[in-house]
Amino acid sequence: MALKNIEFVEAAKALGFGDARIIIKHILPNIAGLILVVTSANFAPAILLETGLIFLGFGAQPPKPSWGSMIKEYYGYIIMDAVYLAFFPGIAIMLTVYAFNVVDIGLRDAFDVKTQNVTV
């Protein structure tokens, strides 16, 4: 909505271009970076939410593989000196979330998106 009143959009309207052409040729290329940054920023919380819900017993059931179900399955073995059974899925979750955060930061820097109150 903020791009609706910018000069190049008004110039395109003055030249008689249709709304579809203005959206496709002028507005979408200017918001593509913002869309990529917001999309990549939402992957890490989605992974953590899915893992947490499956650990609690909600979501995909045991035949479906999930890091949350792996941690839940081997949670009881932690006190029996088999920490590695729950440790490796936890490390995989951590590294995946970290990778998505690094991609988000890289995209934010590449597209020079000015965001406010963004926590990673």
Q: What is 42-100 written as a DSSP string? A: THHHHHHHHHHHHHHT-SS-TTS--HHHHHHHHGGGGGGT-THHHHHHHHHHHHHHHHH
- pLDDT at residue 113, rounded to an integer: 60
- pLDDT at residue 22, rounded to an integer: 85
Tens of pLDDT along the chain (120 residues) come to: 666 777 888 888 888 888 898 888 888 888 888 888 888 888 889 999 999 999 898 887 778 888 888 888 888 887 888 888 888 988 999 999 999 999 888 888 887 766 544 444
Residues 35 and 81 sit within 8 Å (Cβ to Cβ): no
- pLDDT at residue 120, rounded to an integer: 44
- pLDDT at residue 17, rounded to an integer: 87
Q: Report how far residue 88's alpha carbon sits from residue 105's, in angstroms, rounded to the nearest whole number.
A: 26
Q: Report how far residue 104's alpha carbon sits from residue 43's, in angstroms, rounded to the nearest whole number.
A: 9
Residues 40 and 104 sit within 8 Å (Cβ to Cβ): yes
User: Structure pTM?
Assistant: 0.68
| Domain range annotation of the chain | 1-41, 42-115
Give residue for tokens 């992974």. Answer: 47
- Please report, for residues 44, 72, 99, the alpha-carbon distance to residue 54 in angstroms, rounded to integers and kept in the order given: 16, 8, 21
- pLDDT at residue 117, rounded to an integer: 47
